[in-house]
Amino acid sequence: MASATITLMGLYNYDTSLFDFLTLPEDIDKDTLVDNILLRSGDFEVLYPDFDFLKYSIGAWARKWQPTFERWITALQIEYNPLENYDRKEDWTDTRNGQTSGSTSGTTNTTSTNKVSAYDATDFSNKDQNEIYGSDSSSSSGESHEGAKHDGRIHGNIGVTTSQQMLTQELDIGYWNIYEKITDLFLTEFVLPVY
């Protein structure tokens, strides 16, 4: 006679405090994660059938993985232009000797486009485009030197990867789901996935 299988859903139905020790970063919704874990665990047998031990183990597991979850959240929240693969920011200061006084400032905006053609072609097509913008300011206090501070940013697509390839990679990242990844880790540790 076969013994009954103890599942996560069965233990949760027995006592809904099963996940009380599950702590998560604030950007992860606990209810959504618990629902996903319960749905994905299905009829799989739990590795630790003792309720109190499993409840404690879930808390210990969450604390162990907390730094990883926080890094995932940080990585997913980075703002960037998915169709640009080059972004450089520069700040520098020049010091000049001489007798000058006064101050100057200005803004620079330029766009450069590189074009290429096949060796036997008569026309050219765009290879990459970069935008450069920044500001300059300088001041002097009379006699011995003049200081100039500059900052600038250069960004765009330098042509090593096409915009279509970068868009495909962006869509792949969009398909990456933090709730699914955390559930995968959880099920690996707490259930026996026997089909």
Query: Given this model, what pLDDT does residue 92 score?
Result: 75
Identity (one letter) of the amino acid at 136?
Answer: D
Rounded distance between C-alpha atoms, residue 129 and residue 127, angstroms = 7
Burial bucket for residue 36 (CB in 10 Å: 0-12, 13-18, 19+)? middle
Query: Given this model, what pLDDT does residue 1 score?
Result: 43
Q: Which helix (H) or strand (E) holds 76?
A: helix 51-76
Yes or no: say if 185 and 129 are a contact pair by the CB < 8 Å rule: no
Rounded distance between C-alpha atoms, residue 108 and residue 121, angstroms = 35
Rounded distance between C-alpha atoms, residue 61 and residue 46, angstroms = 15
The candidate with the shortest Cα–Cα distance to 182, out of 15, 20, 27, 18, is 27
Yes or no: say if 82 and 167 are a contact pair by the CB < 8 Å rule: yes
The candidate with the shortest Cα–Cα distance to 128, out of 157, 86, 97, is 157
Query: Given this model, what pLDDT does residue 91 score?
Result: 76
Which 3 state secondary structure label does DSSP give 65? helix
Query: Given this model, what pLDDT does residue 4 score?
Result: 72
The CA–CA distances, whole Å, from 154 to 84, 108, 115, 194 equal 11, 12, 18, 54
Query: Given this model, what pLDDT does residue 8 score?
Result: 96
- The pLDDT tens digits along the chain (195 residues) read 456 789 999 999 999 999 999 999 999 999 999 999 999 999 999 999 999 999 999 999 999 999 999 999 998 887 766 666 666 677 777 776 655 455 555 555 566 666 655 556 666 566 665 565 555 555 555 554 557 787 877 766 666 667 677 677 767 777 789 999 999 999 999 999 876
Rounded distance between C-alpha atoms, residue 164 and residue 61, angstroms = 40
Which 3 state secondary structure label does DSSP give 126? strand
Q: Residue 182 CB: number of other CB atoms within 10 A?
A: 20
